[in-house]
Amino acid sequence: MYKNRIEIIKKHLEVNNSQTTNNKDEVLEKELFNSIDTNINVGELKLLIDSVEESKYKDETREFIRNHPKFKENFIGLDMATYRQLVLEQCAAIANRGLIHFTDIKNNLHRYIGALEMFALYNNNILTKLSVQYTLFGGPIIFLGTSRHEKYIEDANTLKTMGCFAMTEIGHGSNVRGIETTAHYDKQTKEFIIHSPTPTSEKFWIGCAYLHATYAVVFANLIIDGTNYGIHAFIVPLRCPKSGAIMKGITIKDCGHKLGLNGIDNGQIRFDQVRIPRENLLNKYSDVSEDGVYKSQFNTPIKNFAATMSPFIVGRMAITKGCSGAAKTSLSIAIEFSHIRKQFGPSSNKELPLITLSSQQRRLMAPLARTILFDLYIQRLTNELCQEKLPASIHAHCSGIKAVYSWFCVAALQTCREACGGQGYRSANRIAEFKNDCDIICTYEGDNTVLMQQLAKYLLGVKQKQTNTTTNRIYLDGEDAKSLFFNFSNINQLFETREEMRLAELKQIIDNSKESAYFAFNNAIPWAVKLGFAHMTKIVFQNSINTLKLKNVKPLTHLIMLDALVSIEEDLGWFVSNHLISPNVAQSIPFLIQDLCFEVTKVSKQIIASFDIPENCKPSSKDLISDLF
């Protein structure tokens, strides 16, 4: 049964390789041999990028951002206290308008995810604050709680009460099973005693904890009569709901000024024998009776732990939307600026816009293409998360896209900053703010390197359950490089072959190791990360092709091919040394990329117009310059 399911998922993900091409491919590929069609239907492209499922919610959120007075206030250069208060008021305005709901992560994920992306166009502090409330605090209550916890929903939905997510400790982050906080059950009083037994067990980086959270979902070791039943989640009051005073036995400190996200009140929490009712255990999967008998749906602590962690893949999708919003706004700023700012030219008395420079085109068109293709893949994952029965691949792929998108986003924002020269360095021009705020995405909601290891382990597991199948090896060589590369089947074979070889390489390194299983994999982590990149590149490409065949919205064909060639160039040495691309043909790739960047540049204004970014999310390109006079 499991094998069949994996095969179905695999076939669903893959482009059919039984033929080298088909008529529809040929029609689409022919577009690449001609000048790009500059007659772009911006509305059609906007709907493709927004997705049919999320378009309505995104437009509602755009109008709210454009018109609400709290989103017209300047936040650049605010001191931390003022900034934190402004972000709180902005989130309260969102809640009061009803743009998102506490139960959306379960009942209407498209509305929730779509709205978050729009707020990320404006400021990632707002996305982060909302994610803490609705995903990290709300998620455990919705997915791990039962009817006895529904009492928290109404006030939390309107932000009358706020919550936080107390998992990370000073001594433990990614290794959640190693956290030290304890929850001893007292049979006499029918209470759990939440305690931080060591300095390293204090909760740290807890968003919204320092100022605004009334409750915390605390992850701790559930202990009864000396027996540790593993990590469980508990609702712990941090402050009195009426007075706001911090509860007895709880110490909260400010984590202080950070590189970015200084509108978020991250806190450090220490628990000193804090008593909570037995009913505060989130008990969907396991519970403790009044007389101290532990019951679980699972026969081992590790299976219970896996079930406890399973809802948080939605959080990874929410955070990934922060990358999407920041990248779109920053790319729009940089591209608009490049169309107006002039320098140099064919003669001393004539200057040309920066966008006419091939270097500027290469800088900005490649990340523009990848941003759109990543977004199309996130649409696919969001649809999968809405299914009643989740695909076996969903956790691995949510981990993978979060890692590759956030790494890409940080690099793209730096590119945008440099593309605008000194103006990109000004905080008022927003790119620098996005840069600082997005840097943390690479390590929160899962360290990217750890997430790529999770993806690699999943791929190794799938491989073990499959019969031996290999993609036909391809070798690209010849005089007509354009025909070789402007071929979806050839590109797909390159990506599939690379993944298979990376997977075989990783497996061989592990199998040949004389170390224990743990150390054998630990010593192979660099190869695991490379496998993760190879897999994500393949499935993003395949998803893009499948989307194109369903909806040939211009200029999607050019964007797909541009990103594919950039991906090949990023690992070109590997493709050549492994005899998949000839050295002669490899030399043509930078020129093909340059040609595609030139073509995409012609429609770059229409592409960023399709993002429909509210005006108050960015400076206008004219203000970027005229504001200086």
Give binding residues as ranges. Answer: 168, 207
Instruction: Report the distance separating Cα 261 and Cα 212, nearest Å.
Output: 15
Rg of the chain in Å (alpha carbons): 26
Nearest CA to 64 among 132, 115, 13?
A: 115
Element spanning 186, H or E: strand 182-186
- A 10 A CB-CB count for 512 gives 9
Q: In whole angstroms, what is the distance from residue 10 CA to residue 179 CA?
A: 36
Question: Which candidate in 445, 496, 499, 599 is catalytic?
Answer: 445
CB count in 10 Å sphere of residue 193:
19
Give the pair of three-digit tokens for residue 365: 């068109």
CA nearest neighbour of 333 among 122, 90, 478: 122
d(CA 180, CA 171): 8
Identify any residues that bridge with 476 across adjacent strands, giving them in sequence order: 581
With CA atoms as reference, report the closest residue to 161 among 71, 69, 233, 88.
88
* Residue 216 DSSP SS3: strand
C-beta separation of 202 from 172 below 8 A: no
Give the distance, in angstroms, between the CA of residue 580 and the centroid of all CA atoms in the same chain. 31
- Contact in structure between 294 and 255 (CB atoms under 8 Å): no
Within its chain, how far is the Cα of 418 from the centroid? 24
> Residue type for 619, please?
P
CA-nearest of 471, 532, 537, 468 to 503 is: 532
429 closest CA partner among 613, 628, 606: 628
Q: Indicate left, alpha or beta for 468 from its phi (over 0: left) and psi (-120 to 50: alpha).
A: beta
Beta bridge partners of 206: 267
> Which residue, among 199, 182, 210, 171, has the nearest Cα to 273 in the 3D structure?
182
Contact predicate 321/115, CB 8 Å: no
Structure tokens at 158: 């309107």
Binding residues for FAD: 168, 207
Side chain identity at 213, as an amino acid letter? A
The tokens describing 555, both together, are: 């200029």
Burial class (CB in 10 A: 0-12, 13-18, 19+), 202: buried
- At residue 420, the 3 state secondary structure works out as coil
DSSP 8-state code for residue 473: P
Looking at the DSSP assignment, which residues form a beta bridge with residue 194? 183, 274
Enter the DSSP assignment of 211: T
| Ramachandran category for residue 138: left, alpha or beta (phi over 0 → left; psi -120 to 50 → alpha) | alpha
Catalytic annotation present for 351: no
List for the chain the helix, strand, coil content (%; round to 5): 60, 10, 30
C-alpha triplet 271, 273, 277: angle, nearest 5°: 100
Q: Decide: 58 and 117 in contact? Cβ < 8 Å.
A: yes
Cite the active site residues.
Answer: 445
